Structure 1
């Protein structure tokens, strides 16, 4: 989980190659994708999505990766998640609500 947060893409890919579960969650319900997205690790997000990470898995607080990336101002990550089909209406707040709160609606079109 720390590798996702730190953007250690190559090392994380090795763990996945050796059987680490792609959509594994930590005690707070965060997936690797959530942690990488929230931390602005675009390269790691892209690698996880390319391997099939689910962009719509919510954490234990019902937050989605795309809403988290919007909250943190991570435009590149938001674009990657949207391109991967992230549900903009999932979670609390939804990505649409988060975008409106922070004046970032233009990222969703």
Structure 2
């Protein structure tokens, strides 16, 4: 499909591919490349088919630099996926202290989601990660 002045419109399939590529960048911590996608108009809080945002994937996979950059770009630290999981609960589950620190510092709600971050910390014996809150 072409638009005016030779511009090409993205098909839904093109959009899905772009989101998939960008999600992989978040998952693998390729921060600079992910930020290029954001600079070219990909919304910071876009989600994949499972409701995961860039921040959720970066947090879950322990990509502290990417988490910090996404927070700086205005990512919603409390945006939960389709299973009602929050980024901070995912980071606690994985034991990612630096990621938890960034999310809590950015105001992540420790009582949001299922399980909440507090419940996840209790379940997995990681309550020490919540000490960054104080």
Q: Would you call these one fold, judging by a TM-score over 0.5?
A: yes
Q: How does 1:2-81 map to 2 (within 5 A)?
A: 2-81=24-103
Could you list the runs of 5+ residues in structure 2 that have no partner in the other structure? 1-22
Give the whole-Å Cα distance in 2 for the aligned partners of 1:20 and 1:39.
Answer: 21
Are residue 96 (structure 1) and residue 108 (structure 2) matched?
no
Taking structure 2 as the reference length, the TM-score comes to: 0.80
Partner deviation per Cα, 1:37-57 (whole Å, 9 max, x = no partner): 001000000000001100001
Alignment size in residue pairs = 109
Displacement of 1:103 in angstroms is: 1.6
SS of equivalent to 1:19: coil
Are residue 108 (structure 1) and residue 130 (structure 2) matched?
yes
Taking structure 1 as the reference length, the TM-score comes to: 0.98
Displacement of 1:3 in angstroms is: 0.3
Q: Greater RCO between the two (CA within 8 Å, min separation 6)?
A: 1
Give the whole-Å Cα distance in 2 for the aligned partners of 1:40 and 1:49.
Answer: 14
Give the whole-Å Cα distance in 2 for the aligned partners of 1:15 and 1:106.
Answer: 35
CA radius of gyration, larger in: 2
Give the whole-Å Cα distance in 2 for the aligned partners of 1:20 and 1:45.
Answer: 16
